[in-house]
Structure 1
Amino acid sequence: MKNIRIILCVVLISIVAISFVACNNAPTKDTQGILTGRANVLVDETIAPIIEDQIDVFESSYTNAELTMIAKSENEVVRALLKDSAQLAIITRELTEKEAEFFKSKTIYPKTVRFATDAIAIIANKSNPDSTIDANDIIQIMKGQTVAKVKALVFDNANSSTVAYFRNLAGVDKLPDQGVYALKSNREILKYVNENPQSVGVLGINWITQPEAELAPLTEHIKVLGVKNQQGKPGDDGYYKPTQSNLALNLYPFTRSLYCINVQGKEAIGLGFSSFLYGERGQRLILKSGLLPDSIPPREIIIRN
């Protein structure tokens, strides 16, 4: 009997010891892995709302993952990436050849995943009598020309991706001295358009479809304008709003792709998050947000007799 008790005590101690070791070896937020660990995610602030939702769902699914979103202008995001102060970025363009070569010179090969199509919305105050605008009107304003029905065209930030988009579209190197204003944030755009009915604002559509609670009252007095594209381009036959169907059919003029750029140089949490964005759950969140997912998630229809 005594021997049995000794054996049981030894077994019990062994189980406790094994459990203790197992617990100590279990993944934690301090363990670097594809689905574990910590990382900062630098995000173009024009698409911040949808990425914040993606991070929330990712962290709730993988409890040993901790991603901290830092929203900045696209220029600031890329600069941080090149200065080694970030290893994961979500922006509206791919790295340039020069930027990619910078990382390759350090034997780091950036992994880029395109996961959605975003729309740049043109917004106005609901009291504004106009509900449509021509792409050519925006281009003329960017070139410093006057468009009678638009007293001011406002952007979130002089370094933002939306400014770069329309500078490239109009073929200009800088914003004109009059008629176009760069504010400090997307929040300020909504506030400005609320207070100036003859102004037109430019921002990512997700700021309208999924506004923060504090911004919801501002969006109630905002409308999204239909846009007619330049002649000879898709969408030049009418005025189209940035709906998912119009994005899918390439009818809305002002669109851009969203990319997750991972320069961690190893199999770490950045790889897991970029895979999540492109995976079924991430793509469903994109679909729900009003943006266009890169791959349309399948819908299962159950037919009952």
Structure 2
Amino acid sequence: MIKRFFGIAGLLAGLIGCNGKPPLDNPSRGSIVIAADESFQPLVTQLTSAYAGIYPDVHFDVVFRPEQEAINMMLHDSARMVFTTRLLKPNERAVLDKRKIKGANEKIATDGVALIINKANTDSLITMTELQSIFNGQTKLWGQLKGGNQNTPITLVFDNNNSSNLEFVLNTFKIKDLKNIRIFTTHSNREVIDFVRKNPSALGFIGVNWISDSDEPLSVELAKDLRVVGVSDKLNPTKRDDYFQPFQEDLGMLRYPLRRPVYILSRETHPGLGGGLINYVVRDAGSLIIRKLGLWPRIPYDRIINLTK
């Protein structure tokens, strides 16, 4: 009995460690919290699930929040790392500097904000100038656009008041005041899709990874009865080839105007589970998952196929 007691005590001491603290996580064992903007839910879910599938002693608690909330979670140590569309601002970087945390940031992919419309709306091409006019409040009706087939008000639909999709578009067009535009926010990218499917006058903005994975049944289902709008940055485009959609090649070749980077930001201070996930994402396996989702990986992984007769 005494031997058994000391055996258990020794095991507990080993687990706790010499300094009385739980052992640190490492790339193949442990549990961490990850925060991410909801527009990246399909991407983050597949990457973390694939990594955890390799290491059974790994657990990721993934929390989806609007981008600013997700970043704040990482800054205040409620999350180890965050998937985001931007680097930290100087005042945010100062929070980590004050704690002498160097952290890490890694660009992993190029993403696009997709514009979606109801299948009944045949006006599936738009220019950046026309979008600027809509966000400035000068263009209010679909009929005012070149090729518009209805005279209803344009309703802009986003997933959240503080989402990366909305912030990116407002920054792109330098919009400070939303009073002059007809805008509606839901609670998720999926709700944006549902809203657009039911409303022919809606113009929805979502993360393209929600509808770009042709091998994923949910992605295929969500893309039904929708049109993805082609966007041109030319002032007066003359042909269909002047417009581009937010899919892989046009993202990688920098042709789609509403493209944006995807970063992983981390506050990790030791070679831990967060670093293991980052290495996995930027290397071959993670790159293939990013490519499968229709985004453009930072380091494209070329698959070599040998054909024999």
The reply to whether TM is greater than 0.5 is: yes
Separation in 1, partners of 2:177, 2:268:
34
Separation in 1, partners of 2:86, 2:240:
25
CA shift in 2, pair 1:163/1:236, >3 Å: farther
Q: Please name the residue that 2:18 is paired with.
A: none
SS of residue matched to 2:48: helix
Separation in 1, partners of 2:163, 2:91:
20
Residue 227 of structure 1, aligned match among 215, 228, 231: 231
- The TM-score, its normalising length taken from structure 2, stands at 0.83
> Is the contact between residue 139 and residue 166 of structure 1 (CA under 8 Å) also seen in structure 2?
no
> Is the contact between residue 137 and residue 147 of structure 1 (CA under 8 Å) also seen in structure 2?
no
Amino acid at match of 2:94: E
> Is the contact between residue 127 and residue 235 of structure 2 (CA under 8 Å) also seen in structure 1?
no
Separation in 1, partners of 2:252, 2:197:
30
1:165 counterpart = 2:168: yes
1:230 to partner: Cα distance: 4.7
> Is the contact between residue 167 and residue 175 of structure 1 (CA under 8 Å) also seen in structure 2?
no
Separation in 1, partners of 2:102, 2:292:
32
Residue 146 of structure 1, aligned match among 136, 139, 149: 139
Amino acid at match of 2:185: A
Amino acid at match of 1:267: P
Q: What's the C-alpha RMSD, in Å, of the aligned pairs?
A: 2.7
What pairs up with 1:76-155 in 2 under 5 angstroms?
A: 76-149=69-142, 151-155=154-158
Q: Please name the residue that 1:245 is paired with.
A: 249
> Is the contact between residue 49 and residue 207 of structure 1 (CA under 8 Å) also seen in structure 2?
yes
1:173 to partner: Cα distance: 2.0
Amino acid at match of 2:288: R
Q: Please, which runs of 5 or more residues in structure 2 have no aligned partner?
A: 1-6, 16-21, 143-152
Residue 209 of structure 2, aligned match among 206, 210, 216: 206
1:224 to partner: Cα distance: 0.5
1:107 to partner: Cα distance: 0.9
1:218 to partner: Cα distance: 4.3
1:236 to partner: Cα distance: 11
Number of equivalent positions? 281
Residue 196 of structure 1, aligned match among 176, 196, 199: 199
> Is the contact between residue 230 and residue 236 of structure 1 (CA under 8 Å) also seen in structure 2?
no
Separation in 1, partners of 2:300, 2:188:
31
Amino acid at match of 1:95: L
Residue 290 of structure 2, aligned match among 286, 291, 295: 286
Separation in 1, partners of 2:290, 2:125:
26
SS of residue matched to 1:173: coil
Identity of aligned residues (%): 28
Residue 277 of structure 1, aligned match among 271, 277, 281: 281
Separation in 1, partners of 2:249, 2:218:
29
Q: Please name the residue that 1:63 is paired with.
A: 56
SS of residue matched to 1:133: strand
Separation in 2, partners of 1:177, 1:206:
30
> Is the contact between residue 105 and residue 263 of structure 2 (CA under 8 Å) also seen in structure 1?
yes
SS of residue matched to 2:87: coil
Separation in 2, partners of 1:123, 1:248:
20
1:216 to partner: Cα distance: 5.1
Amino acid at match of 2:282: Y
Residue 52 of structure 1, aligned match among 14, 31, 45: 45
CA shift in 2, pair 1:173/1:66, >3 Å: same
> Is the contact between residue 143 and residue 172 of structure 1 (CA under 8 Å) also seen in structure 2?
yes
Amino acid at match of 2:65: K
SS of residue matched to 1:178: coil
Separation in 2, partners of 1:47, 1:176:
28
Amino acid at match of 2:233: N
- The TM-score, its normalising length taken from structure 1, stands at 0.84
CA shift in 2, pair 1:145/1:30, >3 Å: farther
CA shift in 2, pair 1:230/1:73, >3 Å: farther
Per-residue deviation, residues 125-156 of structure 1 (Å, max 9, x unmatched): 11112121112222222222224216211111
CA shift in 2, pair 1:289/1:214, >3 Å: closer
Residue 25 of structure 2, aligned match among 29, 32, 35: 32
1:176 counterpart = 2:179: yes
CA shift in 2, pair 1:282/1:75, >3 Å: same
Q: Please name the residue that 2:260 is paired with.
A: 256
Deviates more, 1:158-167 or 1:173-182: 173-182
